[in-house]
Structure formats: C-alpha cells, structure tokens
Amino acid sequence: MNPNPYFPGGTVYGTLLNFRREHALWAPCMHEAPYKAPPQAPVLYIKTANTFTRNGHAIVLPRGVVEVEVAASLGLVASEGGRVAGAVLFNDVAIPHESYYRPPVKYRCVDGFLGVGDAVRPVKDLGELASLVLELRVDGVMRQRTVLADLVRDAAMLWADVNAFQSMRPGDVLMIGTDCLDDGSRPRAKAGDAVEITAIGFAPLTNHFIEEQA
C-alpha cells in the first residue's frame, strides 16, 4: 500500500460518449428527441468530492440500490500552466441510467462513487496513452478491457477541447471516459463484490462494495 496515496485536490470531470463503441451504438438515436443532434462539445460531468474513495476502501451501495455500474477510467491530472502532470486510475461508479438528457447528479455524485488510484504516474513515464489497456475484474473475473486506442477524442484533443472553455487548474482532473460492453451496458457490481482495475505501469485499484448498514 502506498503510504502517501494520491487524493484529488481539484475538481474531477468525467467524459461521456468518448469511446467509439458507445458512440456508434448511440449514433442512430442521436438525431431523435430529446437529443436532436449528436454532441459537438465534449459531454462532461463532475464527480464531486463526496464521491472520492481511496484504493482498498469500501464503496457503500445506498439503501434500495442493488447494483451499480463500475467503469475503468484514466484521469489526467492538471499541473501549472494548463499542462498534464500525469495520469491516475479511477473506478467511475454510477447508478445505471438510460437517458443522457439531464445532468446525472443523483446517479453519479452519490457518496463514495469514485474509486481513486493510489498514485499519479508522471507524464514522462506514460508513453503512448493509445497503447494503454485498462482491465476491470469483478471478484477476479475479467469483465472488461478498455482500449485507449478506441477513444473518440484522444487524450490530447479532449484536453484541448475542454481547456478551450474551462481552464483545468492545478489539481483538477479530466477523466477521458469509460467504455461500454458490446451491448451498451457496463459491468455491474453488487454488495460483496470486489472490483479491481489494472493497467501496466499502474498500481492496481481495488474497491469492494458493501450494503449500507441499517
């Protein structure tokens, strides 16, 4: 265990529909109500500070929530001058929701709903991000491989397009998105499950899910 684990010091942004598989699945209905047009700007959401859960700590399922979506993502951490300091693994947890029309606060900003990797891997050690693969296992069983070559906007383009209207301040984090499975869903976790996210060069991120105590 890292004795001095990373914890986000700024606002954490997530990105929706930034993997080609999910974008293609959604494409046929992008022109229909209520969306009426494909997204032009990056579709972003915020993971508020109450969601942050350290590696190794439990994520609590609120009463009445049986299953949640779990998703591997890579967060780009901002340094001074709008540059990227490095990258860190996240487990971006959400209550499943069918509609992407309204902001997902009650689905994504639930207490504990963001597993945070222990360490930021400095940008100089990162190499080509597009060659990175994130693996997600539930109780040791491989459930998803997220291939960063499959991004709609690659990390550099996403960073530039977001910074064009909102400056990433030192400590702010931009997660590059999460992929879906072939059917458009995401892996699920329920109470008792342990979810591990790994990538070569990164320390594993593990969180287990528990029921809320009465």
Question: Residue 34: what are its φ and ψ, rounded to 5°?
Answer: -85, 5
Q: Which amino acid is at 195?
A: V
User: For the chain, what percentages of helix, strand and coil (3-state, to nearest 5) are there?
Assistant: 20, 35, 45
Classify residue 143 by its DSSP letter: E
Residue number, 101 or 201, with CB nearest to other proteins: 101
Site for other proteins in 148-177 (CB under 8 A): 165-169, 171-172
How many other CB atoms are there within 10 angstroms of residue 154's CB atom? 15
Which residue(s) pair with 138 in the sheet? 141, 195
Per CB under 8 A, the list member of 25, 44, 191, 210 interacting with other proteins is 44
Tell whether residue 48 is a contact of other proteins (CB under 8 A): yes
Contacts of 187 (CB under 8 A, 6+ apart): 69, 70, 71, 136, 138, 143, 144, 181, 195
Per CB under 8 A, does 83 bind other proteins?
no
13 binds other proteins (CB under 8 A): yes
Segment near other proteins (CB under 8 A); pick from 7-15, 69-77, 141-149, 178-186: 7-15
Which of 24, 27, 50, 184 contacts other proteins by CB under 8 A? Answer: 50
Residues forming the site for other proteins (CB under 8 A):
8-13, 16-17, 34-37, 39-41, 43-46, 48-52, 62, 100-106, 109-111, 165-169, 171-172
